[in-house]
Amino acid sequence: MAFNSKNSEINQDLTVKIEKISIVDINKWLIVVKTLSELISLAIQSPLKGYPQQFWEKITQIEKNLNETSTWSLEEKIKKIHIKKSH
């Protein structure tokens, strides 16, 4: 349950949004966050040595990951798990 900023009432809209989050959504977010953390690490380690090229490679990777994961659904992941179990 999500509460308002004063914790005095339940925020129904936010509660519904939170309830709709699936493990597939979280997995998608983790993939993007991992790539973003790699991007930040590159900026810290070598801000002038090849960073612009590496930056665009990571941005391209993020876009690719978002495109690949855009069709993921909980139902599809469950089907794949059942297929793996049956083999």
Give the confidence band of 47 by pLDDT, cuts at 50, 70, 90: low
Structure tokens at 22: 């699936």
Which pLDDT score is estimated for 55? 83
Kindly state the DSSP code that residue 7 receives in the 8-state scheme.
Answer: S
In order of 1, 20, 32, the CA distances from 28 in angstroms are 23, 14, 7
SS (H, E, C) 12-43: HHHHHHHHCCCHHHHHHHHHHHHHHHHHHHHH
**Across the chain, which distance is largest between two alpha carbons, in Å?**
52
Residue 48 pLDDT more than 80?
no
Which pLDDT score is estimated for 19? 94
Whole-model pTM: value is 0.65
DSSP run (H or E) holding 83:
helix 74-86
